[in-house]
Structure 1
Amino acid sequence: MKKHIPNLLTSLNLFSGCIASVMAFQGEYLWVVVFVIIAALFDFSDGFAARLLKAYSPMGKELDSLADMVSFGVAPSLTVFTFLRGHLSIITDNPLITEYLPYIAFLLAIFSALRLAKFNIDERQTESFIGLNTPANALFWISFCYGLVNTVPVISPMLIYLVLVAILVFSSLMVSEIPMFSLKIKSLKFKGNEQRYFLALFFIVLIYFLGILGIAGGILLYISLSIINSRTQPATSK
């Protein structure tokens, strides 16, 4: 019975991602954030449960990637798509652009799939990541879109252009060769976890002052620290 617990948790990850996708279609950005975070918690717990119960399986590995594709690939893409559909008129009245340009958001889903496929066959990525992992990418986009809609007083044309450029940048980051440290803590000791504790503290401060938008700021710091750290430590993606 215990061997099925990790797969059950992975399935709950998938279920949460499905709900997040529905919420994205409806423009309910807060609920998208809630259910993607829940999916991320299940994604963390299924691996933890598999290690604790020694219930590894090839099926579990494949199921994990499929669940992640929905929760951290499709759901954030739909969130960005919905956001662009509702705000592209700020930069143009051309019906062709406002109708079809929002589909650029699905580059995030495509590159999430490429990243997850790469992760499954890349033996270098055991202790850390190469390229931006899909949960971090998803958390950036859902919190960023929520912040733009609910925190920013006026969405300017510059912000729309920023979103379009960021889609290309983050898509590239997911399949890049940039080493990025893992957020998983194997021990509570400060030594060896300095960056993780600093990042956690920074997340708390940002969320306190900026609310949900602070999650996006924390992800940007994570990317920056990883790029800086890549020159000094060997790397090894999700």
Structure 2
Amino acid sequence: MKKHIPNLLTCLNLFSGCIALVLIFKGELITASYFVVLSGFFDFFDGFAARLLKAYSPMGKELDSLADVISFGAVPGAMLYKLLIDMLGSDFFLWTIPAFLITVFSALRLAKFNIDERQGDMFIGLNTPANTMLIVAIPHIIPLFPSLITWWPYIILVLIPISCFLLVCELPFIAIKFKDFSWNNNKLRYIFIIGSAVLIILFKFAAIPIAILLYIILSIVQFKILA
């Protein structure tokens, strides 16, 4: 029975992502973002459960990528598309299409991860859940800066190629995976998790870009030390 627990969590990740997609196209972007967070929760714990229960399987690995390409590929692309089409209007339809480059590059990132043997204790390129959390924070951040409302389409269009680059680049990033729970072996992971938790408690979704920046800085520190 226990061997099915990781796959069940992966399916819940996929299910939550599907609900988020429906909510996005209904225009309920804030609610959709919470279902993406739920997908991220299930995505973290399916791998954690697999390691804890020693319930690894080739099917589980493939299922995880298939679920992620929806929850952390299709969903962020749809989120940016909906934001752009609402801001620019249907007359600027061609300007909204680049949003789905996020979906394409997320799929490339996931395929690369599956065949890249270097990505055990680290990620090469920004992982898709982190990239997606940054994108789904945008509907929460926009109301905080009303003076920038006319600039947001341009900000999003600049963000898209940056995001695509980070997904497939050769830069190393910390993998939030625990082989044990010791402080010495997981110091930067704990700093990231605790720091992010404090930021999110204080600033909610608006803290996510800061948390991603913290993640990038800690990754630079980690791999500069190891170099």
Asked if Structure 1 and Structure 2 have the same fold, meaning a TM-score greater than 0.5 normalized by the shorter chain, the answer is: yes
Higher helix share: 2
Asked if 2 retains the 8 angstrom alpha-carbon contact of 1:144 and 1:216, the reply is no
Aligned to 1:170: 163
Residue 212 of structure 1, aligned match among 205, 209, 214: 205
Q: Relative to 1, partners in 2 of residues 1:212 and 1:10: Cα closer, same or farther, differing over 3 Å?
A: same
Deviation for aligned residue 1:104 = 0.7
Aligned to 2:22: 22
Counterpart residue type for residue 45 of structure 1:
F
Counterpart residue type for residue 111 of structure 1:
F
Please give the per-residue CA displacement for 1:32-74, whole angstroms capped at 9, x wherever unaligned.
2211111111112212222233222111111100000001111
Structure 2 distance, partners of 1:76, 1:18, is 12
Q: What pairs up with 1:87-126 in 2 under 5 angstroms?
A: 87-88=87-88, 95=91, 98-126=92-120
Q: What pairs up with 1:1-238 in 2 under 5 angstroms?
A: 1-88=1-88, 95=91, 98-148=92-142, 150-233=143-226
Asked if 1 retains the 8 angstrom alpha-carbon contact of 2:14 and 2:71, the reply is yes
Structure 2 distance, partners of 1:225, 1:26, is 37
Structure 2 distance, partners of 1:230, 1:163, is 29
Counterpart residue type for residue 154 of structure 1:
S
Asked if 1 retains the 8 angstrom alpha-carbon contact of 2:122 and 2:173, the reply is yes
Name structure 2 gaps, 5 residues minimum.
Answer: none
Deviation for aligned residue 1:130 = 0.5
Counterpart residue type for residue 73 of structure 1:
G
Asked if 2 retains the 8 angstrom alpha-carbon contact of 1:80 and 1:145, the reply is no
Counterpart residue type for residue 117 of structure 1:
A
Asked if 1 retains the 8 angstrom alpha-carbon contact of 2:48 and 2:177, the reply is no
Structure 2 distance, partners of 1:62, 1:200, is 27
SS in 2 for 1:214: helix
Structure 1 distance, partners of 2:41, 2:47, is 10
Counterpart residue type for residue 9 of structure 1:
L
Asked if 2 retains the 8 angstrom alpha-carbon contact of 1:21 and 1:78, the reply is yes
Structure 2 distance, partners of 1:34, 1:177, is 30
SS in 1 for 2:140: helix
Asked if 2 retains the 8 angstrom alpha-carbon contact of 1:178 and 1:230, the reply is no
Structure 2 distance, partners of 1:139, 1:178, is 19
Asked if 1 retains the 8 angstrom alpha-carbon contact of 2:121 and 2:177, the reply is no
Structure 1 distance, partners of 2:214, 2:6, is 31
Percent of aligned pairs with the same amino acid: 48
SS in 2 for 1:195: helix
